[in-house]
Structure 1
Amino acid sequence: MMMDQSGSSRSARPVQQGILIAGKDGHILSADETVCGLLHYRADDLYGQSLWALIGYHPGPPCDETLKHRSQAVVLPRPGLPAFVVTLSTLSLAQQELFVCTIRLQEEQAEDRVGFLASAVDALQRAKAEMQLSLDKEKEVNQLKTRFVSLASHEFRTPLSSIQLSAALVERYYDRLDRDQVFRHLHKIRLAVGALTEILEDFLCLEKMNSGSIAPVYEQVDLPLFCRGLVSEMKLQAKPGQEMVYDHEGEQTCLVTDKKLLRHCLLNLLSNAIKYSPENLPVRLTTRFSGPHCEIDIADQGLGIPLADQAGLFEPFFRAHNVMDIQGTGLGLNIVRRYTELMNGSIRFQSEEHRGTLFTLSFPVR
C-alpha cells in the first residue's frame, strides 16, 4: 500500500521548470538552481558552455527560432536583448521518446513532401517544355506545308506548261517545222524537265536531312581539279557573256571531304550566281588553304540580297523579295548550309543590293 502511494506520488510529482539565459552565440550566461539540478551542473560550471551542446541540437543561423528537444528546451528571443531566455523542463521518459520520434517523423515527412513537390514541379516543367517544343514543331511543319503548296502551285506549273506547249507545237506542226525549230522546242522541254528534277531533288534532300539519313563519307579530293570540272559543267548554263572564272591560291591542293555533298553545295551556289547575275558579268570561284581551314568563295556581281532579307536567307522556302519573278524553290541555301554543317564546316556571306554577293564556305583541314 505504501508502495502504491509512493508510486502514485512520484507519478503525480509536478513538472520542474527552470530558466537560463544564453547569448546570441549560444553560450550560457546564467542559470537558476532548477536548471542546475536538471542538468546536474553547478552554476559556475554552466557559465560559458554551449547551450546547443547541452540540449543536443544546433539550429544553425539564424538562431531566432523556437527550439525543442528531448529535455523540452524552449528558446524564445526577447526583443531588445542580445540573448535568449530558455525555459527548461522535465518530461517523463516516454514523453521524451515520443517527442523525439515526433520531431524526427515530422522532419522526414517534410523532407519527403519537399522532395515529392520538387520532383512534381520538375516533371511539370519538362512536360511544359516538351509540349511547347511539339507545338513549335507543329507550327513550323504547318508553315512549311503552306509554303510548299504555294511553291508547288507556281514552280511546278511553269515548267509543266512549257513542256506541254512545246510538245503540242511539235505534235501539231511537225511537218511544217524545220530541224532547228524542232530542236529548239526539245531544248525547252529538256530545260523544263531539268527544272522539275531540281525541285524534286531539293525536296528529296530536305526529307533525307530531316530524317537523319544523310551521313558524310570522307575521301581525299584534289580540290583544283574538282572545281575545274564543276566550272566546265556550269559553263553550259551560263548566260551570254557570263565568264566562269576559277582561281586557286597556295600550293596545298588536297582536301578530305565528302565529294558528293561538296559538289551539291558548289553547284547550287554557282547556279544561283548565274541565275541572279545579268549577262556579260563574270562569276568567280576561288579556293585557298588558310592555316587549319580551307575556304571556297563564290562571287557574283548580280542583284545582291536586300538587307531586310538577309536574316532569313537560310530558312527553308525563303526567297528575297527582289528575286520572286525568277524561278527557284527557296530550299537551295538551306540545304547548302545544312550540308556544310554536316561536313563540320560553316557558311557566311557578304552582299549588297545591286552590287553582288560573296558566299564563303569554310572547312577544317584534316
Structure 2
Amino acid sequence: MNWKRSSLLGYLLPILTIIILTILLTLTLLRLASVQQDMRTNVSANMVWVTYQAHTESLLLRDAIYQHATDPEAPNTIVFRYDIFLSRLHLLNQGPQERQLEEIGISAKLAAPIAAIIDAESWFKTAEFTNLNNLRRMQQLLAPFNDLIKDASTKAMVAQWNEVGDRLDAYRNAVLTLIMLMIGIWLCSAAISIQLLLSLKKARENESIKLREISLTKQLETERRVSELYRSFGSMVSHQFRTPLAIIDASMQRLIRSGSKMSVDDITRRATKVRSASLRLTNLIDSILAADRFLDNVSAQMQRYGYTSLIHQAIAEQLAHTPNRHIHFHDKTQGDIALILCDPLLTGQILSNFLSNAIKYSEPNQPVDVELRREGPWLICVVRDQGRGIHPDDLPHVLQRYYRAKTASDKDGTGIGLYIASTLATMQQAEIRVASVFGEGSQFSLRFRAA
C-alpha cells in the first residue's frame, strides 16, 4: 500500500507542478500583453498635441489677417491658414479627442466658438480685412476659442500627468506581479528539475540493478554449465572407469585368494586382463587430454574444396576400419560441383565422427546412409543410421562436452567426440543439426554455405 501511494505521488506531483507552471506562464504572457497594449494607447498625449496645434493654427490665422491688413501688397495666406485651422478643428471633434474634451469639461464650451468659426468659412475667405469692422469680427470669433483652447490644453496636460502617474502605478504593480509570477515559475522549474534529477538518479540505479541482475544471471548460468560439465564428466569417468577397475579388482582378488595354487598359465591370463584394463584406462585418459590439447591448438585453414570429395574420403577411411559394414552414398546435387569454403582436415574429422558413431550405435547388419543435397545457399551432408536412436530427453544435450546419452551406456566413449565436431563446425562457420527417432535411428547433418 505504501509503495502504491509513493508511486502515485511520484506521478501526481510532477503533473501538478507542470500544470501550475503552465498557468503561471499563461498569466505572465497575458499580463505582458496587457502592459504592452496599455503602452500603445496614450490619449492624453494625443489630446495635448491636438489642442496645441489648434491653438497654434488659430494664432497663425490671426497673424496672417493682420499682415494682410497692414500690407495689402504682401502674399495673401489667409485662405491657406484658415483651411489648416479648419482641419485642426475637425480633429477636435473626432472620437478620442471629443471624449477627452468631455472628460475635462470643455467640450460643451468649445462647441459654440468652433461652430461660429466653421459657419464663417465663406466670410474668412472673402472678407476685406483692411476694414476695421472685419478685424473686430475676426477678433470676436477667434478670441473665445483661444481662451477656451488654452484652458483645454492646460487641463489636458494635467490629465496627462495624472494618467502618467496612474500608468506608472499600474506598471509598478504589473512589474511586481510579473516578479511574483517569475518567482513562481522559477520555483516550479526548480521543482521539475529536482524531480527530473531524482528520476535520472532512480533510472541509473534501476539500470545498475538490471546490469547486476544480468551479471548475476550470467554467472549463475556459467556456474550451472560448469556444474553440468563436471556432472557429465563425473558420470562419464564413473561409467568408463568402473569396468576396467572392476576387472583389475576381480583379477587381483583371485590372485590373493588362490596364491600359490594358481598355475603359471592362469597367472599369465589374469595379468594379461589387468594389463588390458590398465591400457584401457590409460587410453581413456589420453583421449580426454588429447582432445583438450587439440581444441586449444587447432585453427581453421579455410579454402574452397569439393564437398563430395571429402565425403568419399571419410567413407573410405571408415570402411578401412570396418570393412564388413555397408555405407551407401546418395549424391542429390545432380552433378553440380559442390564447392564449400572449409578446412578439409577439420571437415573430414567431423564426417569421420558422424560415420563412426553411426557404425557404433547400429547393428552390424544395418547399413549407414550418407546423403549430399542442396537447399538454397546450403550444401548439406546427412549421415543417417537405423540404430537405437537418441531419447528425446538426451537430444538437446548430445553436443555438450562429456555428455553421453543413456542409450550409449553400454558403449565405450568419452562424450567429447560430438562436442569437438560442433566446435570444429563453428570454427568454419558451419552448422551441425541432430534429429532422431528413439528406437528407429538418428541423423546428423553438417551444413556449409556453397562457395
Q: What TM-score does the superposition give when structure 2 sets the normalisation length?
A: 0.51
1:218 deviates by 0.7
> Quick check: 1:159–1:196 contact (8 Å CA) kept in 2?
no
1:129 deviates by 1.1
Instruction: Specify which of 310, 324, 339 is matched with residue 241 of structure 1.
Output: 324
Quick one: distance in 1 between partners of 2:424 and 2:280? Answer: 26
Instruction: Specify which of 211, 216, 237 is matched with residue 126 of structure 1.
Output: 211
Name the counterpart of 2:337.
252
Report percent identity of matched pairs: 23
> Quick check: 1:70–1:99 contact (8 Å CA) kept in 2?
no
Name the counterpart of 1:99.
184
SS of the aligned residue for 2:348 comes to helix
> Quick check: 1:317–1:331 contact (8 Å CA) kept in 2?
yes
Name the counterpart of 2:134.
none
Quick one: distance in 2 between partners of 1:193 and 1:280? Answer: 32
State whether structure 2 residue 230 is matched by structure 1 residue 145: yes
Name the counterpart of 1:326.
411
Quick one: distance in 2 between partners of 1:257 and 1:319? Answer: 28
Name the counterpart of 2:304.
220
1:196 deviates by 4.5
1:195 deviates by 4.8
State whether structure 2 residue 24 is matched by structure 1 residue 69: yes
Change over 3 Å in CA distance of 1:363–1:64 after alignment to 2: closer
| Deviations 1:4-48, CA, capped at 9 Å, x for gaps | xxxxxxxxxxxxxxxxxxxxxxxxxxxxxxxxxxxxxxxxxxxxx
Quick one: distance in 1 between partners of 2:18 and 2:222? Answer: 53
SS of the aligned residue for 2:349 comes to helix
> Quick check: 2:245–2:277 contact (8 Å CA) kept in 1?
no
| Deviations 1:46-91, CA, capped at 9 Å, x for gaps | xxxxxxxxxxxxxxx9999545426868xxxxxxxxxxxxxxx964
| Deviations 1:330-361, CA, capped at 9 Å, x for gaps | 23223323332332222223322332222221
Matches within 5 A, 1:184-203: 195-203=284-292
> Quick check: 2:18–2:192 contact (8 Å CA) kept in 1?
no
1:245 deviates by 3.4
Name the counterpart of 1:317.
402
SS of the aligned residue for 1:105 comes to helix
Change over 3 Å in CA distance of 1:127–1:244 after alignment to 2: same
Quick one: distance in 1 between partners of 2:443 and 2:193? Answer: 67
1:236 deviates by 3.9
State whether structure 2 residue 314 is matched by structure 1 residue 230: yes
Higher relative contact order (CA 8 A, sep 6+): 2
> Counterpart amino acid of 1:227?
I
Quick one: distance in 2 between partners of 1:295 and 1:351? Answer: 17
1:187 deviates by 9.5
SS of the aligned residue for 1:306 comes to coil
Quick one: distance in 2 between partners of 1:214 and 1:127? Answer: 35
Quick one: distance in 1 between partners of 2:23 and 2:245? Answer: 88
1:143 deviates by 2.4
Change over 3 Å in CA distance of 1:325–1:141 after alignment to 2: same
> Counterpart amino acid of 1:255?
I
Quick one: distance in 1 between partners of 2:284 and 2:355? Answer: 15
Name the counterpart of 1:362.
447
Q: What TM-score does the superposition give when structure 1 sets the normalisation length?
A: 0.61
Change over 3 Å in CA distance of 1:159–1:185 after alignment to 2: closer
SS of the aligned residue for 1:69 comes to helix
Matched residues, number: 276
> Counterpart amino acid of 2:370?
L
Matches within 5 A, 1:152-163: 152-156=237-241, 158=243
Gaps of at least 5 residues in structure 2 are: 1-14, 29-172, 252-263
1:365 deviates by 0.7
Change over 3 Å in CA distance of 1:137–1:188 after alignment to 2: closer
Change over 3 Å in CA distance of 1:131–1:351 after alignment to 2: closer
1:148 deviates by 1.6
Quick one: distance in 1 between partners of 2:425 and 2:201? Answer: 46
| Deviations 1:77-108, CA, capped at 9 Å, x for gaps | xxxxxxxxxxxx96455534433322222222
1:124 deviates by 1.2
Change over 3 Å in CA distance of 1:139–1:187 after alignment to 2: closer
SS of the aligned residue for 1:122 comes to helix
RMSD: 4.0
More strand by share: 1
Quick one: distance in 2 between partners of 1:264 and 1:217? Answer: 14
State whether structure 2 residue 420 is matched by structure 1 residue 335: yes
> Quick check: 1:163–1:192 contact (8 Å CA) kept in 2?
no
More helix by share: 2
> Quick check: 2:310–2:347 contact (8 Å CA) kept in 1?
no
Name the counterpart of 1:349.
434
1:220 deviates by 2.3
Larger radius of gyration, structure 1 or 2?
2
Change over 3 Å in CA distance of 1:189–1:293 after alignment to 2: farther
Quick one: distance in 2 between partners of 1:152 and 1:93? Answer: 86
> Counterpart amino acid of 2:238?
S
Change over 3 Å in CA distance of 1:187–1:143 after alignment to 2: closer
1:230 deviates by 2.1
